[in-house]
Amino acid sequence: MSTAPFTVAIDGPAAAGKGTVSRALAQRFGLAHLDTGLLYRAVGAQTLDGADPIKAARALVPDALERDDLRTAQVAQAASKVAVMPEVRAALLDFQRAFARRAGGAVLDGRDICTVICPQAEAKLFVTASDTVRAARRHAELLARGDDTTLETVLRDVRARDARDAERAAAPMRPADDAHVLDTSDMSITDAVAAAIDIVAQARAARGLPVER
């Protein structure tokens, strides 16, 4: 394992395939992975329990990311509401930056990784897809998890979250100028992963880093 810092930063809207692509890249190149959405979800979940979001973000411990209700639609909305608060974002910044530059390299996925958390990342991707494709994917995921919801509800939630994430003043979701945009609307997950692997392999090769584990 190389000890040079090597960060893959991945942004994009909900259910675009970021998580799958990130996990595949981490596995392929032997990098640590942080799903930064979980930090906001953990704070959002505690807020639904009555906690103050800023205090919850400042006191967040790794165990809080292990709660088994963090993937629900209700927690997703709560996460995007606490994520508009600059104090919440500031409280989560150092942990993400340290993770990004850890020895051995890391993949982080979220909304502001390329633009705010790690603008110096060696590889940057913006993984996206149309809102209807993303809603259909998220709907299938929620049904598989036993969450009884309709496609219309999921589409409405995805659009509400997109608007909140893209229009907020603090670290809005947007593709970094130098990010590779990967639109997965008409791509299989295998093709999306292969395209992402190519981009990262080129960034590693350009720095003389191994492209095989």
Cα separation, 97 vs 199, whole angstroms? 22
| Binding piece for ligand C5P, criterion CB under 6 A, among 2-10, 46-54, 106-114, 198-206 | 106-114
Cα separation, 201 vs 54, whole angstroms? 39
> In the complex, what is the shortest distance from the CB of residue 18 to ligand C5P, in angstroms, rounded to a whole number?
7
Residues of this chain, 16-75, that bind ligand C5P according to CB under 6 A = 36-37, 40-41
Name which position in 45, 60, 83, 158 contacts ligand C5P (CB under 6 A).
83
Enumerate residues 6+ apart whose C-beta is below 8 A from 150. 139
CA dihedral 17, 18, 22, 23 (to 10 degrees): -50
Q: Is residue 134 a contact residue for ligand C5P (CB under 6 A)?
A: no
Number of residues counted as binding ligand C5P (CB under 6 A): 15
Q: In whole angstroms, how large is the CA radius of gyration of the chain? A: 17
- 99, 5 Cβ separation under 8 angstroms: no
> In the complex, what is the shortest distance from the CB of residue 166 to ligand C5P, in angstroms, rounded to a whole number?
10
Name which position in 112, 125, 128, 200 contacts ligand C5P (CB under 6 A).
112
> In the complex, what is the shortest distance from the CB of residue 187 to ligand C5P, in angstroms, rounded to a whole number?
19
Task: Read off the amino acid at residue 113.
Answer: I
- 195, 182 Cβ separation under 8 angstroms: yes
Q: Which of 46, 83, 76, 47 is nearest to 157 (CA)?
A: 76
- 170, 88 Cβ separation under 8 angstroms: no
Cα separation, 88 vs 86, whole angstroms? 5
Name which position in 16, 25, 57, 111 contacts ligand C5P (CB under 6 A).
111
Q: Is residue 76 a contact residue for ligand C5P (CB under 6 A)?
A: yes
CB nearer to ligand C5P: pick between 17 and 37: 37
| Binding piece for ligand C5P, criterion CB under 6 A, among 57-65, 77-85, 140-148, 201-209 | 77-85
CB nearer to ligand C5P: pick between 36 and 46: 36
Length of the chain: 213
- 173, 110 Cβ separation under 8 angstroms: no
Name which position in 33, 139, 161, 180 contacts ligand C5P (CB under 6 A).
161
Residues in contact with ligand C5P by the rule CB under 6 A:
14, 36-37, 40-41, 76, 79-80, 83, 110-113, 161, 165
